């Protein structure tokens, strides 16, 4: 499998890409690809002169608070990219780091210019970015109005659905190289409470999280227990081209 397959797969959900467009993605993915390990790709306040495609592994976007606490704002799974709009303001507003080992391609204004020559491809990227925005909105609801139990269940449902969409699940299991503390920073919960909530989810036969691996035992049950409605992920949208211009 080529390194850019997953990236292409994500974008192909939003437009039918021709040979030239595939080739350009190949090129951009190969050009400045690096391996990172538990590393920071960019830091809040850095000049916004580059953005990223995660080709393999997992990264997250986050902000640090004055007291050192961290709020994770979103995950970049294999195949996910940053919104090119990041380049529009002088400084970036949040940091990005990778978990474990990851392959990441760095894009610049120059890459964006190349992409801009393919309106169909740019359209796919914008539609893709629009979905990411929708996910961000759901996260406000998640940390705001749901209980710890629902939050965690909802997050796992979301992760499963996003990973499954590009074939990164095995049955109802998937790899998740995070710690319980990372989950806490995502859901605005203490590590201790994440631990207790995970045990509760296991006790109810809904899911287990062991050895950096999530196993969902009862997806319908988890979905209804956490109020998960996948509409906001826009995975079942009509084929590209069949709706409003």
Partner DNA sequence: CGTGAGGTTGAAGGTTCTCAAGCTTTGTGG
Partner DNA sequence: CCACAAAGCTTGAGAACCTTCAACCTCACG
Residues in contact with DNA by CB under 7 A are 147-149, 179-181, 188-193, 195-199, 211
Q: Which does 195 bind (CB under 5 to 8 A by kind): its own copies, DNA, none?
A: DNA
Q: Which does 126 bind (CB under 5 to 8 A by kind): DNA, its own copies, none?
A: its own copies
Within 57-168, residue ranges assigned H as helices are: 109-116, 119-145, 148-164
Report in angstroms how near the CB of residue 103 gets to its own copies at its nearest: 25
C-alpha dist (Å) from residue 189 to 148, 181, 213, 224: 7, 9, 20, 21
- Paired tokens of 241: 């081209």
Q: Which does 227 bind (CB under 5 to 8 A by kind): DNA, its own copies, none?
A: its own copies
In the set 55, 58, 87, 214, which binds its own copies (CB under 8 A)?
Answer: 87
Our finding on whether 143 is near its own copies (CB under 8 A) is: yes
Q: Which does 235 bind (CB under 5 to 8 A by kind): DNA, its own copies, none?
A: none
Residue closer to its own copies by CB (options 8, 94) is 94
Q: Which of residues 59-78 bind its own copies (CB under 8 A)?
A: 61, 63, 65-66, 69, 71, 73
In the set 200, 208, 221, 227, which binds its own copies (CB under 8 A)?
Answer: 227
CA distance 94 to 51: 12
Pairing of strands 50-64, 40-42: unpaired
CA distance 49 to 44: 13
CA within 13 Å, CB half, 47: 3
98 close to 78: Cβ distance less than 8 angstroms: no
Using the CB atoms, write b or e for 194-205: b if 16+ within 10 Å. Answer: bbebbeebeeee
Q: Which of residues 104-133 bind its own copies (CB under 8 A)?
A: 109, 123, 126-127, 129-131, 133
C-alpha dist (Å) from residue 93 to 43, 73, 86, 88: 8, 11, 9, 12
Binding site for its own copies (CB under 8 A): 45, 47-49, 61, 63, 65-66, 69, 71, 73, 83, 85-91, 93-94, 109, 123, 126-127, 129-131, 133-134, 136-141, 143-145, 187-188, 227, 231-232, 234, 237-238, 243-245
């Amino acid at each position: 499998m080529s390194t850019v397959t997953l990236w292409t797969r994500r974008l192909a959900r939003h437009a039918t890409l021709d040979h030239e467009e595939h080739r350009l993605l190949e090129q951009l993915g190969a050009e400045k690809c690096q391996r990172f390990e538990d590393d920071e790709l960019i830091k809040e306040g850095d000049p916004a002169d580059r953005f990223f495609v995660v080709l393999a592994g997992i990264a997250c976007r986050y902000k640090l608070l004055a007291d050192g606490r961290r709020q994770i704002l979103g995950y970049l799974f294999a195949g996910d990219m940053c919104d090119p709009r990041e380049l529009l303001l002088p400084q970036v507003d949040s940091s990005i780091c990778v978990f474990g080992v990851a392959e990441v391609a760095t894009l610049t204004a120059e890459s964006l210019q190349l992409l801009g020559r393919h309106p169909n491809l740019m359209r796919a990227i914008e539609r893709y970015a629009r979905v990411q925005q929708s996910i961000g909105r759901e996260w406000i609801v998640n940390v705001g109005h749901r209980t710890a139990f629902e939050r965690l269940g909802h997050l796992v449902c979301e992760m499963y659905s996003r990973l499954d969409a590009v074939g990164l699940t095995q049955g109802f299991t998937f790899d998740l190289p995070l710690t319980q503390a990372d989950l806490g920073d995502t859901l605005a919960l203490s590590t201790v409470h994440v631990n207790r909530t995970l045990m509760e989810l296991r006790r109810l036969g809904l899911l287990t999280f062991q050895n950096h691996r999530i196993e969902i035992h009862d997806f319908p049950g988890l979905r209804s227990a956490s109020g998960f409605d996948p509409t906001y992920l826009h995975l079942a949208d009509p084929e590209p081209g069949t709706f409003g211009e």
